[in-house]
Copies of this chain bind each other. A is one copy, B any other.
Amino acid sequence: MLNKEFLIDYRIYYEDTDAGGVVYYANYLKFFERARTEFLRSLNIFQSTLIKELNLIFVVKKCEIEYKNPTKLDNLVNIKTIISEIGAASIKMHQEMFCEEKLLNVLDVEIVCVDRISMKPKRIPSEILEKIK
């Protein structure tokens, strides 16, 4: 059963927008990362603990993002995150952002578990895998 789903809302502030009047394209990735982090937190996986205790970090390996509709200051956006694939050292997630039912953008992201110092891929610890699956 890989289709765990997680929902979260964020407000758009001035810091997120640019002179085009809408959210700056790179800043959407910040919201998506907050959503992934809260997803993991909801499963009792804490990234700061992973670093401290196991010297492991999840890093982003690949992103494919399609921008369908822009969004503006003061809007409330809703992010849906689904785990789409779990490998030995990597996780793929599919994420969608909405504003009042309108699809804003879609992200497919692959994150890899790496050693903090060497930055080499490491097997995801089994206790983490159990929480995710």
User: Quick check: is A61 within 8 A (CB to CB) of the other chain?
Assistant: yes
Please, how many residues of chain A have a CB less than 8 angstroms from a CB on the other chain?
42
Chain A residues 19 to 34 lying within 8 A of chain B, measured CB to CB, are 19-22, 24-27, 29-30, 33-34
CB proximity of A95 to chain B, nearest CB, Å = 13
Of the listed stretches A65-73, A77-85, A125-133, name the one at the interface; the rest are far from the partner chain: A65-73
Which residues from chain B contact A21 at a C-beta distance below 8 Å?
A: 19, 116
CB proximity of A58 to chain B, nearest CB, Å = 9
- Give CA–CA (A61, B104) in the complex, Å: 11
- Give CA–CA (A54, B66) in the complex, Å: 26
Which residues from chain B contact A34 at a C-beta distance below 8 Å?
A: 11, 13, 15
| Known A13-B34, A29-B29, A63-B64; 14 more pairs at CB < 8 Å | A14-B33, A15-B34, A17-B19, A18-B18, A22-B119, A25-B33, A25-B63, A26-B27, A59-B67, A59-B70, A60-B67, A61-B67, A62-B65, A69-B119
Q: Mind listing 25 A-B residue pairs with CB under 8 Å?
A: A11-B34, A13-B33, A14-B24, A14-B47, A15-B24, A17-B18, A17-B19, A19-B19, A19-B22, A19-B73, A20-B57, A25-B29, A25-B63, A26-B26, A26-B27, A48-B72, A48-B73, A49-B74, A51-B73, A59-B67, A60-B67, A62-B64, A64-B64, A64-B65, A70-B119
